[in-house]
């Protein structure tokens, strides 16, 4: 017993490599905290954190992402959080935490090679395209990751407490983002694991077990699966009960239900949030990428045919007893096939670039999207193969099934197609690289396509001679896989190093600075944007407008945070999810109260007359009735008071 404990201690001891890997994984997610200025999501979320509550936030947004806003509010009060860089640091720590937790789980619990776990986590970090300010996304990933790890350990180690905790994580995630409800489907893993256990239990020959023993074993597994399910559901409902109870005490359940009801009603104007639209967006993305899968598949099939012909020729030579001459020709054929396939795999990479499969402009999504989608498809393919492999352990089947669910469920509840799944690869990426490595390094390269399999290469050759079997070498699969992974490392690494989100695209110019705004001190941004912000910051300071309520329109919600002006109702009223009727009611309420918030409009939105904008017209009518006057204008913004 002491020997086992000592071995376990040595196995789990943190090495110098671990320290270096963890240091990189912890710091790398913070590499861009001083880069870029986003007028959309980043400042919008930070404004909601700073001005959390029904006074300055839309109730739909407050309650549908409640825990994310609560955590953000706590972060905004931390030391050094009074700036964009400070908030980027604190929110970035969530990614640091996930990568280090993922590394420990992969190396300690799944026993993956450390270098593969490290590379996998680096891939996951590099594909985090979403700003860390969106805590309703990143806190979702944190709790989902925790739930997956707890679920795996709870099932494989028979720990009911872990299963309860996994349920708590999933239940709490509904309060992080209401659209996380589909994550409850992780319960499928519990029953799938029960099925795997049952199938393993009946593997023994029937003569070794009586019918009663089989029946009792089935009942035990069924009973155990129900107990596990109850544990998960108990944790799930407990988290919801505590969360809803707190919201009821603080705000009243009527306010919560009203906000969530509006969330469901928003699909009238934001049709891409309908369940059918979200699912079809994911399906169509995978369907479109089958174009590339089929063409890469053709390369693999041609390679397999080439190696099969080579094997057939070698077999004929051996049957003809050509002796040394035949053996030499066989070796030459092997060298030729391996060389040709290696060159073809490398040419495949060049062909993909020439066909614009991906670009080298790493500030753009085009650099990683198609490789990323194929990477997800590869992960699911490995998972499916592992699940149906008779020789795989039940723990491997469980892990494969869970990670397939992670890929599929992460994208549900979002209108961003598969982008959320690409942002949540903290276990999927290491797993995919691990399975790839297991395939690439496997010594047995030949697969029987006629006849039964045999355990090793020598047996393959003997079986081929004795039973007239036809063999095929799977080196083409390995060569193409290696080539694809090399392409992924280049594209994902470049994207991770260069991409910073700003208004749904990447930042290219970082030559500008804003020196007269404490929130934005030290932030690198495009020179033009720096000029706009500098000018309006000077005006706000001269007029002493900080702290005054503001109405923003024209996709500039971040100004609420950057200028330190709380929103009068919803800082991002342009969103289609914010109904014109709701905006009309808010403006009417302001007029009745006799208030006169500052109004800041985007110049582009002001002069845009190509389409009817009901909410813009409502705002202009409101300003006319309240006798607003223009007091500031530059190339980007216009201020009315």
pLDDT in tens, 317-337: 776 655 556 667 878 888 899
315-344 residues labelled b (16+ CB within 10 A) or e (exposed): bebbeeeeeeebeeebeebbeebbeebeeb
Q: What is the mean pLDDT of residues 268-278?
A: 75
* DSSP strand pairing (550-553 vs 598-602): parallel
pLDDT band (50, 70, 90) for residue 452: very low
Listed in sequence order, the residues at least 6 apart from 240 whose beta carbon sits closer than 8 Å to its beta carbon are 171, 174, 175
Q: How far is CA 527 from CA 512, 514, 534, 563, in A?
A: 4, 9, 10, 18
* Dihedral Cα 428, 370, 383, 181, nearest 10 deg: 60
pLDDT greater at residue 177 or residue 458: 177
pLDDT higher than 80, residue 272: no
Highest mean pLDDT (candidates 258-262, 325-329, 533-537, 582-586): 533-537
pLDDT band (50, 70, 90) for residue 453: very low
Rounded Cα–Cα distance for residues 127 and 129 (Å): 6
pLDDT at 12: 66
| pLDDT, tens digit (0-9, with 9 covering 90-100), for 116-135 | 999 999 999 999 999 999 99
pLDDT at 24: 97
Rounded Cα–Cα distance for residues 279 and 408 (Å): 10
pLDDT band (50, 70, 90) for residue 261: confident
| pLDDT, tens digit (0-9, with 9 covering 90-100), for 283-303 | 999 999 999 999 999 999 999
Q: Which of 85-99, 123-137, 604-618 has the lowest mean pLDDT?
A: 604-618
Q: What is the mean pLDDT of residues 92-97?
A: 98
pLDDT over 70, % of the chain: 88
pLDDT higher than 50, residue 229: yes
pLDDT at 218: 74
pLDDT higher than 60, residue 393: yes
Rounded Cα–Cα distance for residues 357 and 41 (Å): 29
pLDDT higher than 80, residue 212: no
pLDDT higher than 90, residue 36: yes
Rounded Cα–Cα distance for residues 449 and 55 (Å): 70
Q: What is the mean pLDDT of residues 510-530?
A: 96
pLDDT at 457: 42
Rounded Cα–Cα distance for residues 433 and 437 (Å): 6
pLDDT greater at residue 481 or residue 273: 481
pLDDT higher than 90, residue 216: no
Please spell the DSSP secondary structure of 208-266, one letter per residue: GS-HHHHHHHHHHHHHHHHHHHHHHHHHHHHHHHHHHHHHHHHT-HHHHHHHHHHHHHG
Q: What are phi and psi of 639, to 5 degrees?
A: -115, 135
pLDDT greater at residue 541 or residue 324: 541
Listed in sequence order, the residues at least 6 apart from 103 whose beta carbon sits closer than 8 Å to its beta carbon are 21, 22, 25, 117, 118, 121
Residue with tokens 């063409």: 295
Q: What is the mean pLDDT of residues 325-353?
A: 89
pLDDT higher than 80, residue 396: yes
Q: What are phi and psi of 567, to 5 degrees?
A: -75, 145
Cα angle at 566 between 560 and 572, to 5 degrees?
Answer: 55
524, with CB counted inside 10 A (0-12, 13-18, 19+), is middle
pLDDT at 334: 84
Q: What is the mean pLDDT of residues 573-598?
A: 91
pLDDT at 454: 42
Q: For the chain, what is the mean pLDDT?
A: 89
pLDDT at 73: 96
pLDDT at 217: 73
Q: What are phi and psi of 10, to 5 degrees?
A: -65, -40
């Amino acid at each position: 017993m002491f020997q086992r404990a000592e071995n376990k201690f040595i196995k789990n001891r943190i090495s110098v490599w671990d320290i270096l890997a963890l240091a990189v994984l912890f710091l790398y997610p913070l590499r861009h905290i001083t880069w870029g200025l986003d007028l959309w999501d980043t400042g919008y979320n930070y404004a909601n954190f700073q001005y959390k509550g029904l006074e300055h936030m839309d109730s739909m947004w407050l309650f549908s992402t409640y825990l994310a806003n609560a955590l953000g509010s706590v972060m905004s009060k931390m030391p050094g959080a009074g700036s964009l860089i400070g908030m980027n640091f604190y929110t970035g720590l969530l990614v640091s935490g996930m990568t280090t937790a993922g590394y420990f789980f992969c190396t300690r619990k799944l026993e993956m090679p450390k270098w593969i776990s490290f590379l996998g986590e680096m891939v996951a970090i590099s594909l985090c395209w979403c700003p860390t300010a969106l805590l309703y996304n990143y806190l979702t990933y944190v709790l989902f990751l925790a739930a997956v790890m707890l679920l795996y350990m709870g099932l494989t180690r028979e720990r009911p407490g872990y299963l309860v905790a996994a349920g708590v994580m999933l239940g709490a995630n509904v309060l992080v983002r209401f659209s996380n409800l589909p994550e409850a489907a992780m319960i499928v893993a519990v029953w799938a694991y029960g099925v795997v256990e049952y199938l393993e239990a009946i593997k023994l020959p029937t003569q070794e077990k009586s019918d009663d023993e089989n029946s009792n074993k089935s009942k035990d597994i069924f009973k155990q699966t129900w107990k596990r399910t109850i544990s998960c559901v108990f944790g799930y409902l407990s988290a919801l009960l505590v969360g809803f109870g707190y919201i009821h005490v603080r705000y009243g359940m009527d306010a919560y239900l009203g906000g969530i009801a509006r969330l469901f009603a928003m699909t009238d104007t934001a049709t891409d949030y309908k369940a059918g639209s979200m699912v079809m967006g994911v399906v169509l993305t995978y369907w479109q990428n089958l174009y590339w899968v089929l063409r890469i598949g053709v390369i693999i099939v041609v390679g397999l045919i080439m190696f099969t012909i080579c094997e057939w020729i070698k077999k004929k030579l051996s049957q003809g007893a050509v002796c040394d001459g035949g053996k030499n020709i066989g070796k030459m054929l092997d060298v030729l096939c391996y060389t040709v396939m290696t060159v073809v795999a490398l040419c495949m990479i060049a062909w993909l670039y020439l066909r614009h499969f991906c670009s080298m402009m790493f500030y753009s999504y085009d650099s990683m999207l198609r490789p990323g989608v194929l990477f997800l498809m590869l992960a699911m393919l490995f998972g499916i193969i592992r699940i149906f492999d008779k020789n795989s352990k039940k723990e491997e089947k469980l892990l494969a099934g869970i990670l397939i669910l992670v890929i599929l469920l992460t994208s549900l509840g979002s209108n961003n197609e598969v982008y959320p799944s690409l942002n949540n690869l903290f276990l999927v990426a290491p797993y995919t690289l691990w399975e790839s490595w297991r395939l690439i390094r496997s010594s047995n390269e030949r697969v029987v396509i006629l006849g039964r399999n045999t355990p090793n290469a020598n047996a393959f050759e003997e079986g081929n001679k004795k039973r007239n079997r036809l063999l095929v070498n799977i080196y083409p699969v390995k060569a193409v896989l290696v080539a694809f992974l090399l392409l992924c490392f280049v594209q994902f690494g470049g994207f991770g190093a260069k991409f910073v989100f700003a208004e749904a695209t990447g930042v290219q110019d970082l030559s500008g600075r804003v020196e007269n705004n404490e929130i934005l001190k030290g932030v690198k941004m495009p020179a033009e944007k720096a000029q706009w912000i500098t000018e309006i910051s000077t005006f706000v300071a001269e007029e002493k407008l900080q702290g005054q309520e503001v109405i923003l329109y024209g996709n500039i919600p971040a100004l609420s945070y950057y200028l330190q002006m709380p929103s009068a109702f919803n800082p991002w009223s342009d969103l289609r999810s914010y109904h014109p009727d709701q905006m009309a009611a808010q403006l009417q309420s302001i007029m009745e109260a006799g208030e006169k918030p500052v109004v800041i409009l985007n110049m582009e939105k002001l002069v845009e007359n190509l389409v009817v904008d009901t909410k813009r017209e409502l705002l202009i009518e409101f300003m006319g009735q309240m006798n607003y006057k223009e007091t500031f204008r530059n190339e980007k913004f216009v201020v009315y008071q």
